[in-house]
Amino acid sequence: MKIELSKSPAAHIEAIGYEKTNLTEVLRIKINGVVHNFAGVPKIIYDELVGTLHRAEYLVKAVENNYKEF
């Protein structure tokens, strides 16, 4: 699965990408050189993450606490 990552203006979040397939929805985030993949993330969560000014806070609250990393 190749997900295009877009650069992020957030200090420690380098890039963010999203892909929806027939099997799952994947949010990919690159933080300090490490790529993290989260399964089952709805597109609305991705859209809100990209649109918020407080990405790190939203990432923890809405993604890391609710979706499994693989």
In the chain, the amino acid numbered 50 is V
| Confidence band of 12 (pLDDT split at 50, 70, 90) | confident
Residue 1, both tokens: 């699965």
From CA 9, how far away is CA 25, in angstroms rounded?
Answer: 23
Give the per-residue pLDDT at 34.
Answer: 94
From CA 28, how far away is CA 70, in angstroms rounded?
Answer: 10
What is the per-residue pLDDT across 18-55, written as a single tens digit (0 to 9) for each? 999 889 999 999 998 999 999 999 999 999 999 998 98
Give the per-residue pLDDT at 60.
Answer: 92
Give the per-residue pLDDT at 7.
Answer: 78
